[in-house]
């Protein structure tokens, strides 16, 4: 058997497998489903390009003809106001293309898994991991179910990349639900959607809805198909007492630009819904195990951060794991720097997201401002792992304080009750 067992063959697991194989560390990826399998999370940010390059996957992304994403556009509910950004405005170190991609996740995830296999990872599909085996408080293998029989697979180290199923998180009771966000998403694919002008038809489009934390994504999947997802607070869905169809259609009509884009659109697959998706684990590392991607932390998807976090966490974790193999030290203490790095990045995303929901006009004001625009762009591209490099968050906080203090500020009425103080500590404390 391999030294490392990676549970989950999504983007995080396949990236981890790729890095470990490149480092000569034997690894097996155990995936419960058979790829291709559908998945939500179809729009990437540009920081992923650096990792595609490092693991030699960028050529595949280019060859397979995924839709190129050059920027993003936001639409207010009533007004004609649209705000756009282009990635070309902020070139990133180590990224020499001014676009990222929108992906059909069934195809993308399958290609990533095949890529890991090509680099040397052993891949087992259709096998479900039941439990991580522990001996004296240290992970030492994985119990799987093969053809109805339970089999114990021994290994030196276990990586949990099970996404929102969070195998170790549940087994060791590490999960802390997000104290603020309890969002609910309904999404489907459409044909015949009017995607916009020649300049922005391949952007991700975000339409604001006139309900609490409500928005809609429009993501081009290929020439024909566009993914559309309605996101609101779960309470908004509950209180509406509508079925999914009615709920979706009703919200589409509340944003003029969206209703216009959807006027001739025809749904081509079933609605899917996602809920309860914001949480953190109290620990990302333990003796003989670590968590990557959604298995560690999930922040609200408004800025398309998930796949980028999945890939970056796999990269950082693989670096720490290489050092662990060198030192023959797989203890929680040795692995901790990885946890610290990932927490820094996800906390930056989380803070940005909360400031955004705290005062919606603040975001559009900042991206329209010469002074702040590039720093916001830097965040939107996924450059989040060094807190000192994102002073714009402090500028946003100061702006909110001013609005709160002032009696007649024009944004005053748009303030929400989202807390913006530091919550990462709350989310990482075991109860
Ligand atoms: C509503 C919504 C919208 C989103 N939009 C975006 C977006 O636009 N852009 C973006 O970047 N991200 C988005 N995301 C987030 C994105 O979906 C995830 O962050 C990303 O898929 C995480 O990758 P992962 O590899 O960690 O997990 P996953 O992609 O979920 O992969 C986990 C894999 O583990 C397997 N598995 C689970 N349990 C077991 C087990 N016990 N044994 C074996 N295998 C197992 C699963 O079958 C799966 O293949 C969105 C999420 C939501 C909920």
Residue 347 CB contacts under 8 Å (≥ 6 apart), including other chains: 387, 424
> pLDDT band for position 147 (50/70/90)?
confident
Please give the pLDDT value at position 324: 98
Distance CA 429, CA 72 (A): 36
Task: State whether 120 and 233 are in the same domain.
Answer: no
Please give the pLDDT value at position 79: 63
Residue with tokens 């500590």: 425
Distance CA 279, CA 297 (A): 6
Lowest mean pLDDT among 72-76, 270-274, 276-280: 276-280
- Structural domain contains residue 225: yes
Please give the pLDDT value at position 423: 67
- Say if ligand 1 is within 6 A of residue 138 CB: no
Rounded to the nearest angstrom, the distance between the alpha carbon of 294 and the centre of ligand 1 is 6
How many domains does the chain divide into? 2
Q: Of 249, 275, 301, which marks where a domain is finished?
A: 275
- Structural domain contains residue 382: yes
- Closest residue CA from atom 43 of ligand 1: 32
Q: Among the atoms of ligand 1, which is closest to the Cα of residue 185?
A: 1
Q: Are 204 and 70 in contact (CB under 8 A)?
A: no
Flag whether pLDDT at 157 surpasses 80.
yes
> pLDDT band for position 430 (50/70/90)?
low
pLDDT digits over 291-323, tens only? 999 999 999 999 999 999 999 999 999 999 999
- Closest residue CA from atom 5 of ligand 1: 41
- Structural domain contains residue 84: no
Please give the pLDDT value at position 90: 85
Q: Among the atoms of ligand 1, which is closest to the Cα of residue 35?
A: 49
Flag whether pLDDT at 424 surpasses 70.
no
Please give the pLDDT value at position 188: 98
Distance CA 239, CA 380 (A): 32
- C-alpha distances in angstroms, 361 versus 48, 200, 365, 411? 28, 21, 6, 7
Flag whether pLDDT at 369 surpasses 70.
yes
Task: State whether 27 and 162 are in the same domain.
Answer: yes
- Structural domain contains residue 431: yes
Flag whether pLDDT at 143 surpasses 90.
yes
> pLDDT band for position 420 (50/70/90)?
confident
Q: Are 39 and 189 in contact (CB under 8 A)?
A: no
Which domain CATH number covers 381? 3.50.50.60
Rounded to the nearest angstrom, the distance between the alpha carbon of 12 and the centre of ligand 1 is 8
- Structural domain contains residue 295: yes
Give buried/exposed letters for 44-53 (b at 16+ CB in 10 A, else e): bbbbbbbbbb
- Closest residue CA from atom 50 of ligand 1: 41
> pLDDT band for position 400 (50/70/90)?
very high
- Structural domain contains residue 144: yes
Task: State whether 227 and 334 are in the same domain.
Answer: no
Q: Among the atoms of ligand 1, which is closest to the Cα of residue 231?
A: 1
Please give the pLDDT value at position 427: 66
Which domain CATH number covers 191? 3.30.9.100
Q: Which residue has the higher pLDDT, 181 or 105?
A: 105
Q: Which residue has the higher pLDDT, 324 or 179?
A: 324
Please give the pLDDT value at position 201: 93
Flag whether pLDDT at 409 surpasses 80.
yes
Residue 241 CB contacts under 8 Å (≥ 6 apart), including other chains: none
Task: State whether 409 and 378 are in the same domain.
Answer: yes
> pLDDT band for position 426 (50/70/90)?
low
Task: State whether 308 and 331 are in the same domain.
Answer: yes
Lowest mean pLDDT among 90-94, 130-134, 169-173, 278-282: 90-94
Task: State whether 135 and 169 are in the same domain.
Answer: yes
> pLDDT band for position 192 (50/70/90)?
very high
Domain that holds residue 62: 1-66+103-175+279-431
Task: State whether 292 and 339 are in the same domain.
Answer: yes
- Say if ligand 1 is within 6 A of residue 314 CB: no
Flag whether pLDDT at 80 surpasses 90.
no
- Closest residue CA from atom 31 of ligand 1: 10
- Say if ligand 1 is within 6 A of residue 17 CB: no
Task: State whether 316 and 400 are in the same domain.
Answer: yes
Task: State whether 360 and 345 are in the same domain.
Answer: yes
Flag whether pLDDT at 78 surpasses 80.
no
Task: State whether 283 and 402 are in the same domain.
Answer: yes
- Structural domain contains residue 82: no
- Structural domain contains residue 83: no
Please give the pLDDT value at position 431: 58
Q: Among the atoms of ligand 1, which is closest to the Cα of residue 44?
A: 11
């Amino acid at each position: 058997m391999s030294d490392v067992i990676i549970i989950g063959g999504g983007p995080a697991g396949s990236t981890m497998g790729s890095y470990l194989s490149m480092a000569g560390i034997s690894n097996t990826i155990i995936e419960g489903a058979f790829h291709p399998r559908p998945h939500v999370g179809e729009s990437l940010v540009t920081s992923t390009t650096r990792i595609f390059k490092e693991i030699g996957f960028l050529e595949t992304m280019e060859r397979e003809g995924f839709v190129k994403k050059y920027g993003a556009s936001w639409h207010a509910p009533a007004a004609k106001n649209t705000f756009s950004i282009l990635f070309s405005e902020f070139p990133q170190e180590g990224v020499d293309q001014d676009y990222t991609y929108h992906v059909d996740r069934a195809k993308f995830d399958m290609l990533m898994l095949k890529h890991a296999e090509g680099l040397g990872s052993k891949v087992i599909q259709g096998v479900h991991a039941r439990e991580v085996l522990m001996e004296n408080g240290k992970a030492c293998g994985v119990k799987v179910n093969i053809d109805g029989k339970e089999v114990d697979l021994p290994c030196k180290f276990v990586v949990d990349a099970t996404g929102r199923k969070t195998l170790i998180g549940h087994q060791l009771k590490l999960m802390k639900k997000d104290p603020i966000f309890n969002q609910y998403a309904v999404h489907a694919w459409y044909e015949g959607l009017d995607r916009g002008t020649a300049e922005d038809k391949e952007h991700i489009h975000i339409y604001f809805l006139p309900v609490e934390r409500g928005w809609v994504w429009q993501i081009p999947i290929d020439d024909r198909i566009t993914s559309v997802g309605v996101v609101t607070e779960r309470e908004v869905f509950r209180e509406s007492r509508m079925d999914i169809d009615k709920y979706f259609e009703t919200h589409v009509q509340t944003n003029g630009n969206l209703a216009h884009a959807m006027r001739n659109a025809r749904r081509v697959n079933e609605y899917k819904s996602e809920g309860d998706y914001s949480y953190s684990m109290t620990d990302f590392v333990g003796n003989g195990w670590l968590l990557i991607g959604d298995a560690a932390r999930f922040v609200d998807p408004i800025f398309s951060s998930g796949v980028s976090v999945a890939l970056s966490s796999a990269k950082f974790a693989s670096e720490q794991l290489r050092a662990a193999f060198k030192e023959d030290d797989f203890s929680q203490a040795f692995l901790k720097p990885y946890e610290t790095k990932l927490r820094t990045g996800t906390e930056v995303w989380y803070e940005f997201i909360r400031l955004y929901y705290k005062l919606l006009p603040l975001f559009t004001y900042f991206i329209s401002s010469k002074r702040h625009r590039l720093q916001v762009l830097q965040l939107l591209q996924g450059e989040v792992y060094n807190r000192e490099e994102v002073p714009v968050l402090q500028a946003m906080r100061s702006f909110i304080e001013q609005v709160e203090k002032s009696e007649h500020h024009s944004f005053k009425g748009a303030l929400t009750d989202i807390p913006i103080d530091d919550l990462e500590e709350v989310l990482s404390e075991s109860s």
